[in-house]
Structure 1
Amino acid sequence: MVKSSDVILIIVAIIFPPAAAAFVAGCSCDLLINILLTILGYIPGHIHAFWLIYKKMQAEERYGRGGYTYVGNGTYEPIFHTQAPAGQAPYYGATGR
C-alpha cells in the first residue's frame, strides 16, 4: 500500500533524485552513488532513487512502520526491542550506562 509519504518521496525523486536518496538512506554511500549516477545521466539517478524507495516500502511492509533500520546497499534489518534485566531501568542514553 502506497502512503502519502511515499508519494512525496516519489515526487522528490522525479524532481531531484539525490534528495530522495538522502531522505531514504541518509548521508551514506548510497547518496554518493546517486549523486554520481545523476551527474553521469539523469535517468540512472532516477532508477537508483526509485530502487531505494522500493526497498524502503518493502521494509515497511515486512517490519512495520519504524520497525526497521537501514544498514546500507538497500538493505534493512528489523529493530529488536530488548528488555532490561529484572529490577533495572531501561537504558535511554547513548552509552547504555
Structure 2
Amino acid sequence: MTGDTQRKDSSMTDETTLARLERRFEALESRLGYQEHWLDTLDQAIAAQEQRLAQLERLSDLMRQRLREQHQWLKGMDPEGGGYAPEDEKPPHY
C-alpha cells in the first residue's frame, strides 16, 4: 500500500465512524424525545390523581362529620321516651 491508499482507507474509516456516530446520536435523540413525552404524560396523570385524591379526602371528611352528627343525635335521643332504640330497627334484609 502506498501513502495515498492509506489516506483513502483512513478517510473512509473516519466517514464510516462519523456516519455510525450520527446514527447513534439520532437514535439517542429519538429515545430522549420519547422519554420526555412519557414523562409529561405521567406528570399529567399524577396531577389528575392528586386532584382526585384531594376530592375523595374532602368527601371522606364530610362523611365522617355527618356520621358523627348522626351518632350524636341518636345518642341524645331517650330510648325510654319513645325515641330511638337500636333494637327497634329492622335489619337491612327485611
Query: TM-score range, shorter-chain basis?
Result: under 0.3
TM-score of the two chains, using structure 1 as the length reference: 0.25
Higher RCO (CA < 8 A, seq sep 6+): 1
TM-score of the two chains, using structure 2 as the length reference: 0.26
Larger strand percent: 1
